[in-house]
Amino acid sequence: MPRPPFGQRGPSGTGATAALAELRRRSRDTRAGFEAVLDTAETEFRPIAQRFLGLHTAHIAALDAILAARGVDPEPGDSITARLNRAAVRSRAIFEPVDARILERVRNGERHVMQAFDAVLATDLSDSERDRIAGMRAGLDRLMAMVAQCG
C-alpha cells in the first residue's frame, strides 16, 4: 500500500501528523540557516552553531522516523524558507561578522521551532511519541538556556 504524501494524515492520528510535519519543516529551515552560518562563523561562535546544527539534524532524523511510523514519507527537499535562510545568512556575512551578535536572531528562530514543538505536544500523540517529542523539546530548551548565558 503506498504511503500518503508528505503532510497528510497517517494511520495514527488527526492533527498530530500535520503538526509533526510542520515541526520537521521548521527544524529543517532552521538547520539550513545554521549550515550557512558555519560557512562564515567567527571562531568563537562556531561551537554554538555546531551544537544547534547537530541538535536540529538529530531532531529531523527522529521526526522522519515518527512520520514514517505513521505511514508518511518525509519530503526530501528543502523548502523555500530553508533556501532563503541560507541566502540571508550568507548575504549578511558580507556586511557583518557572524558572531555572538546574531544570538538574538538565533533566539527568535528557535522560538519559532519551540512553538511548533508546543503545537505537536497539544495533539493526539501516542505516549511514546509524546515522550520523544517532549525529550527533543527539552534538549532545545537546554541549548537555548546555554545560549542565553552567552549574551
Residue 28 near residue 79, CB atoms below 8 Å: yes
Task: Tell me the pTM.
Answer: 0.77
Q: What pLDDT is stored for residue 149 in this prediction?
A: 77
pLDDT per residue of the chain (151 residues) written in tens, 0 to 9? 333 444 443 344 459 999 999 999 999 988 888 887 787 777 777 888 899 999 999 999 999 999 999 999 877 665 555 455 555 555 554 445 545 566 677 777 889 999 999 999 999 999 999 999 999 999 999 999 988 776 5
Short-list 25, 121, 35, CA closest to 79: 25
Short-list 43, 56, 42, 47, CA closest to 85: 56
Q: What pLDDT is stored for residue 37 in this prediction?
A: 78
Q: Which domains does the chain have, with CATH numbers?
A: 15-150 (1.20.1260.10)
